[in-house]
Amino acid sequence: MKIEGKQNIWKEYQKEIAEDHFFYVRSCVRQNFFPGSEKTFLRILQYELKKDLFENPSHTTCSGIGYHTDIIPFETSMTMVARQFALMTEAGYENLVTSCITSFGLYSEVLETWHHFPELEEKTRQFLRKATGREFKKPANVSHASDIIFKFRKEIAEKSKYSLVNKDTGKPLRVVEHIGCHYSKMFPSKGIGGAEYPYVLVGMIEDWGGEVIDYPERRHCCGFGFRQYLVQANRGFSISCSKKKFDSMEPYKPDMILTNCPGCPMFLDRWQYAISEMEGKTYGENNQGIPVLTYEELAGLVLGYNPWDLGLQVHQVPAEPLLDKMGIPYDPEMKFRGADGQDLGKPEAPTTLKFYAKEV
């Protein structure tokens, strides 16, 4: 492996990321999958980095999942995207930040379509006007939230309380990174580092002290792949995709997996449990699996936020082995307690995957 080769490619794929004044659009699914991530993004931007960020509760789905599963026509998607732009315009913002990778892909696709086919933009404006009476300006900058964290990764490193270093050995933690397909596989030039050797997560890992693992199935699908999961009969494809990745990364002994998509962490996390139940096979050390984190969760850990405020208790693969390696203190008793300290009850332990440090 020649790192200079990768660095040359990374130089090719740089993108403009806005500095401040963001209009933030949330994901439909992330608040169920990884409920602390979006809140952590807001906390980092507003309280750590002192950035101006606005969100409008009238924001709806971008329709991306419906579009990519062929149940929503593109004209409808374009009109819904146009409505989000109208909300942004009405609020006086022009830098759009999406939480979801599929939204990022869809917004990019719509803008690119309008660029090449201006008549479709005009048609969409008419649809929106007729349906809602709204008008919009196109965003000056569209970034994914991971682009923003990437941009400010060094500031986060400066404020960090913990790093991706094994506190016992002093060695960098070994991290598998996986980007969402709709981040740069649709438009390589819109992702930091392009599609083949994306740099957006690598940059965070390196600046926060870790080491990136390159493994043969690095580019392989996480297992979501939309129809692979959404069509129930195809779910065997979904889990076998994830398994292929785990089998490929296992010899490199990763300490964690870092992701920037709603789907990737969901499937890379939950399927580890499913594989353990189906085949008795676990990955990672001591049958504990390989922890899978979103970039917001990792940024929060680096900044010293309480792991249970980040929502790590809803992960199927326990994050505790990672917390132990990073030297992050946590109270196991508080893992399944609500904000007011109320006991929420403990989930049943899986058969093989070691979910609790001490079996309950």
What is the binding site for another protein (CB under 8 A)? Answer: 1-2, 4-6, 8-9, 194-197, 214-219, 251-252
Nearer to another protein, 180 or 311 (CB): 180
Which phi and psi angles does 28 have, rounded to 5°? -70, -35
Backbone torsion region of residue 194, taken as left when φ is above 0, otherwise alpha when ψ lies between -120 and 50, otherwise beta: left
Nearer to another protein, 2 or 116 (CB): 2
Nearer to another protein, 1 or 233 (CB): 1
Please name the amino acid found at residue 338: G
Nearer to another protein, 251 or 332 (CB): 251
Rounded distance between C-alpha atoms, residue 207 and residue 151, angstroms: 11
Rounded distance between C-alpha atoms, residue 94 and residue 83, angstroms: 14
Q: Where are the beta strands (DSSP E) in the chain?
A: 22-25, 53-54, 95-98, 141-144, 174-178, 211-212, 256-259, 292-294
Least distance from C-beta 9 to another protein, angstroms? 6
Nearer to another protein, 244 or 335 (CB): 244
Residue 106 makes CB contacts below 8 A (sequence gap 6+) with 62, 63, 64, 67, 77, 81, 182
Least distance from C-beta 103 to another protein, angstroms? 26
Pairing of strands 95-98, 141-144: parallel
Least distance from C-beta 227 to another protein, angstroms? 17
Least distance from C-beta 6 to another protein, angstroms? 6
Tokens representing residue 269 in the block: 């996390």
| Residues belonging to the chain | 360
Nearer to another protein, 137 or 253 (CB): 253
Least distance from C-beta 205 to another protein, angstroms? 18
Rounded distance between C-alpha atoms, residue 123 and residue 138, angstroms: 15
DSSP state of 47: I
Tokens representing residue 187 in the block: 């438009």
Nearer to another protein, 5 or 280 (CB): 5
Nearer to another protein, 80 or 213 (CB): 213
Least distance from C-beta 24 to another protein, angstroms? 32
Least distance from C-beta 194 to another protein, angstroms? 7
Half-sphere exposure (Cβ direction) of 354: Cα atoms closer than 13 Å = 13
24 pairs with which residues across the strands?
Answer: 97
Least distance from C-beta 219 to another protein, angstroms? 6
172 pairs with which residues across the strands?
Answer: 165
Tokens representing residue 286 in the block: 């001591």
Rounded distance between C-alpha atoms, residue 297 and residue 44, angstroms: 11
Nearer to another protein, 1 or 339 (CB): 1
Least distance from C-beta 234 to another protein, angstroms? 16
DSSP state of 337: B
